[in-house]
Structure 1
Amino acid sequence: MDALDVARWQFGVTTVYHFLFVPLTIGLSVLVAILQTMWHRTGNERYLKLTKFYGKLFLINFAMGVVTGIVQEFQFGMNWSDYSRFVGDIFGAPLAIEALVAFFLESTFIGLWIFGWDRLPKRLHLAAIWAAAIGTNLSAYFILAANSFMQNPVGYRINPDTGRAELTDFLAVLTNKVALVTFPHTLAGSFLVAGSLVVTVGLWHVMRNRDSTDTGAYRFATTFGSWVVLVSSALVLLTGDIQGKIMTEVQPMKMAAAEGLYTTESPASFSVLTVGSLDGSREIFALKIPYLLSFLGTGDPHGTVQGINDLQAQYATQYGPGDYAPIIPVTYWSFRFMIGLGLAAAAIALLVLWSQRKNRTPTSRWLLRATLVMPALPLLANSFGWIFTEMGRQPWIVFGEMLTRNGVSRTVSLTEVLTSFTAFTLIYATLAVIELKLLLRYAKAGVPELTPEPEPTDDDTERPLAFAY
């Protein structure tokens, strides 16, 4: 074990942990805005109760996401200074815009939304949550644009004197084909997570508090969340199909590794289950669906999909001697866990809708148990998706331009990286416990009781700000 290995583990752990909060924040911001819009248009108090209820869960998650996201910025300078030096001119541009525009838009209007319940006119207050939701989604786009450069470098040149990548076309970076498809795919996955949480909390209250005066609100939340899950699942599959074709075009090794495809095939079969050799160099046994991989990768059932061994030989000739295949078991199984866990959440949502047909109240304990684990399924699917995306790019940190081993800080010792890795892991474990306890406490508490809110007037400037949560 050396500093490179620990630096990679640290970046992986902190990134995956941070991303546990991101999809829920993205999805809930929009769903809360939709619920408040429904209240604004109808005046029905159940929508207001649901807005405040799920808004509280959104704020808890948002705060944790901000705290854990700060670490990501520091890691580039701490453990990956050579990478930062090489690609900073390009990588820094979208991240700077994300911080100066999207994040400030998001955080400013979240503050107005929190404290403006009894001070802002209803329309302005509604606009505040929509502005915060737009800022959240803009943040996601700029970050994904930066990441997409690592997958498919565009809009740059290598300065022969400094050896650094320099930005030549910022629009090309923002319209990178990888970013354009990754963004809607990520959003769909985020709504899948948020919808699952809405379903879980709503159904738990429906089954545990059947005589409550707020049962109607919980039933609506359960149905609303279930439809969000089903629609977002369909969008995940649609955008994932497009993403697979682009991945085959720009990163054929990643697609080959995802399928355990060792030799080039035309047509290529989709691997349901593959057992390979321990060194990952050949296939021993496979259960396959004919023609499916060719269609997923190229759009043509008879299309050619390049294999791992052929691509390895090609890259060795193009980039020099070395092993250019990622860790096959990691990419193969993370790809399948990503798909399988997402489909499992959609299946549970279907069962929930069926159980509530014709205004019935669900009674199955097995359904409740399945629903209680439901939010974890798409959350893990999102995490496995990012593990696949980043591990499938290896050994490149910037595909075709910089190997991961060349991006690590050369002056940081193994002891220093281990110290920061241990500290961050312990802090994150503590934050995970706090986050889970807060979410459970406020989710169990249910929707709030409403109190009459005074209309804002011209002479209320001396009234203190009201924290609505």
Structure 2
Amino acid sequence: MIDFTVVDLARMQFAATALYHFLFVPLTLGLSFMMAIMESVYVMTGRSIWRRMTLFWGTLFGINFAMGVATGIVMEFQFGMNWSYYSHYVGDVFGAPLAIEGLMAFFLEATFIGLFFFGWDRLSKVGHLIVTWLTAFGANFSALWILVANGWMQNPVGARFNPDTMRMEVADFAEVIFNPVAQAKFVHTVSAGYTTGAMFVMAISAFYLLRGRHVDLAKRSMAVAASFGLASALSVVVLGDESGYVATEHQKMKIAAMEAMWETEPAPAGLTLFALPGKDGNSFEVKIPWVLGLITTRSLNTEVPGIRPLVEHAETRIRSGMQAAADLDAIKADPKNQAAREAFAANWKDLGYGLLLKRYRDDVENATPEQIRQAALDTVPDVAVLFWSFRIMVAMGLYMIGFFGLALILSTLHRLRQTPAFLKVAFFSLPVPWIAIESGWIVAEYGRQPWAIEGVLPTFYAASSLSVTDLAISLGFFVTLYTALLAVMVYLMVKTIKAGPASYALIEGIQGSSRIPDAAAAHPSR
């Protein structure tokens, strides 16, 4: 029998490492493009203040990137350590984009980052600018392949189960790459990263303006961050709408849980603005008519299915999965049984639903009606967690649109220094994008439960056969290690920020030269 304590500990460990890692990734994505924009202005104008800005924010980017690498490497190893059956079952499909990311995208990104730090005095202005832009695109290219892999977990297209190898195998790699869920997740995620980078620059620049330090750098940085941040925040909302539309097609249960929607909403479906979800219904709710239908179906005549009807549909697929499991047993007993192969080919897409019964018995084809019903109920994620996580994410997103809009107005009117109240708000808004991002991660990943691969492989069935002691020790080790790394990162960031633009000597020190041009030192606004 499956030890669910082991499964829970394995899930906790992956969730902890992923949440830690995702503290660094969005800032890397955002700062990379901010650096490229600033260096572009330097190359076009020749004003050294923009070079100093690129160097300063580049130092912070480098610290964050190093921590992202340190925390990200472990995550891929966990698939072999804690999720060995997952690796066996879907490794042929899932491993391909991860391999491409590691062997191509990451190494290209790392190469460009090396040239960024070492190439200031070795490359021409235009040559170094190209390197900086390639660093930004390389970071996004790396994120693309990770999200292709993750998108396949949400919508497993382009693959089929091979009864001879007992594994999922690639049938159409182009379909895996151009998976609509993966593409929607990619643009939504990188836009969130851009917003994070913009908020980071805004907050640190506001800190400088409040202290009256490094004013030339701070006001220019805020001007760039305000416009870049507003465009990014607006794109997050628009692209998030696309993610909702795609999820409605492929992850109906997730959408129903996010809305705490227990019964099917007739067209046009209303959006639940506020509710008090329980285990089997809402004790109170406030709806906005039509909005959910427009977001999720792009129409006014399509209904949105609720949790209870989706549970009933899951029962139907579980029964089909039981037949697929029986056909698979017949194939294993007699590989030449053509009738069993034809029957399995008709039902294999429901095999994952049959595997949900493994939670209750090994011979799934003999499951009782009560066990089938319970397995169907297991397809419902925690409604309250999804409902509130989604609303926190949306609230933070709307706040950032208003914030960056006001920042752009004040920057255009040159009123930032004369508005200390806004500068204080900007400084204390630093955690906002991370709250939104981590909430979004919970919606995307926790909302997929009970599936490791949506409709294909239950999470509990994907775990390795480890002991509770093994996982408790490794969980404690990783949480301790990642907390220490986070503390080191915060320490280095704070130290660099306190030092201010002078800290760009870190980059020039790497090159063996900390020379500051005399003209730039005498006229820092040049």
TM-score by length of 2: 0.83
Aligned residues: 454
State the SS of the aligned residue for 1:324: coil
1:307 is aligned to 306
Query: Distance in 2 between the 1:361 and 1:367 partners?
Result: 8
Q: Would you say 1:343 and 2:398 are equivalent positions? A: yes
> Please, which runs of 5 or more residues in structure 1 have no aligned partner?
455-463
2:252 is aligned to 252
Query: Distance in 2 between the 1:449 and 1:422 partners?
Result: 35
Q: Report which stretch shifted further, 343-352 or 401-410.
A: 343-352
Post-superposition offset of 1:466:
3.0
Rate the CA distance shift 1:263–1:361 in 2: closer, same or farther, 3 A.
closer
Post-superposition offset of 1:273:
1.1
Name the aligned partner's letter for residue 342 of structure 1. Answer: G
Name the aligned partner's letter for residue 434 of structure 1. Answer: V
Post-superposition offset of 1:350:
3.0
Rate the CA distance shift 1:202–1:119 in 2: closer, same or farther, 3 A.
same
Determine which of 121, 124, 130 is the counterpart of 2:124.
121
- Alignment deviations for residues 277-317 of structure 1 (CA, whole Å, 9 cap, x no partner): 2xx22122101101111111101134210000110111122
1:425 is aligned to 479
1:4 is aligned to 7
Q: Report which stretch shifted further, 146-155 or 199-208.
A: 199-208
1:142 is aligned to 145
Q: Would you say 1:378 and 2:459 are equivalent positions? A: no
2:354 is aligned to none
- Structure having the higher helix fraction is 2
CA contact (8 A) 2:84 2:464 kept: yes
CA contact (8 A) 2:56 2:503 kept: no
Instruction: State the Cα RMSD in Å.
Output: 2.1
CA contact (8 A) 1:292 1:301 kept: no
Query: Distance in 1 between the 2:512 and 2:285 partners?
Result: 62
TM-score by length of 1: 0.93
Q: Would you say 1:220 and 2:220 are equivalent positions? A: yes
The structure that has the greater radius of gyration is: 2
Q: Would you say 1:329 and 2:384 are equivalent positions? A: yes
2:315 is aligned to 316
State the SS of the aligned residue for 1:287: strand
CA contact (8 A) 1:230 1:349 kept: yes
CA contact (8 A) 2:263 2:305 kept: yes
Q: Would you say 1:295 and 2:294 are equivalent positions? A: yes
1:157 is aligned to 160
2:494 is aligned to 440
1:18-417 maps to which residues of 2 (within 5 A)?
A: 18-209=21-212, 214-267=214-267, 268-277=269-278, 280-320=279-319, 321=372, 322=375, 323-356=378-411, 358-410=413-465, 412-417=466-471
Query: Distance in 2 between the 1:285 and 1:328 partners?
Result: 14
Q: Report which stretch shifted further, 228-237 or 364-373.
A: 364-373
State the SS of the aligned residue for 1:359: coil
Post-superposition offset of 1:215:
2.0
Q: Report which stretch shifted further, 298-307 or 5-14.
A: 298-307
Post-superposition offset of 1:401:
0.7
CA contact (8 A) 2:210 2:420 kept: no
Sequence identity, in percent? 40
> Please, which runs of 5 or more residues in structure 2 have no aligned partner?
320-371, 516-526
Post-superposition offset of 1:376:
1.1
State the SS of the aligned residue for 1:428: helix
Q: Report which stretch shifted further, 392-401 or 374-383.
A: 374-383
Post-superposition offset of 1:122:
2.0
Name the aligned partner's letter for residue 494 of structure 2. Answer: L
CA contact (8 A) 2:496 2:503 kept: no
State the SS of the aligned residue for 1:281: coil
Post-superposition offset of 1:68:
0.1
Post-superposition offset of 1:354:
4.1
CA contact (8 A) 2:195 2:233 kept: yes
1:458 is aligned to none
CA contact (8 A) 2:55 2:504 kept: no
Q: Report which stretch shifted further, 363-372 or 221-230.
A: 363-372
Rate the CA distance shift 1:357–1:39 in 2: closer, same or farther, 3 A.
closer
State the SS of the aligned residue for 2:502: coil
CA contact (8 A) 2:379 2:450 kept: yes
Name the aligned partner's letter for residue 207 of structure 2. Answer: W
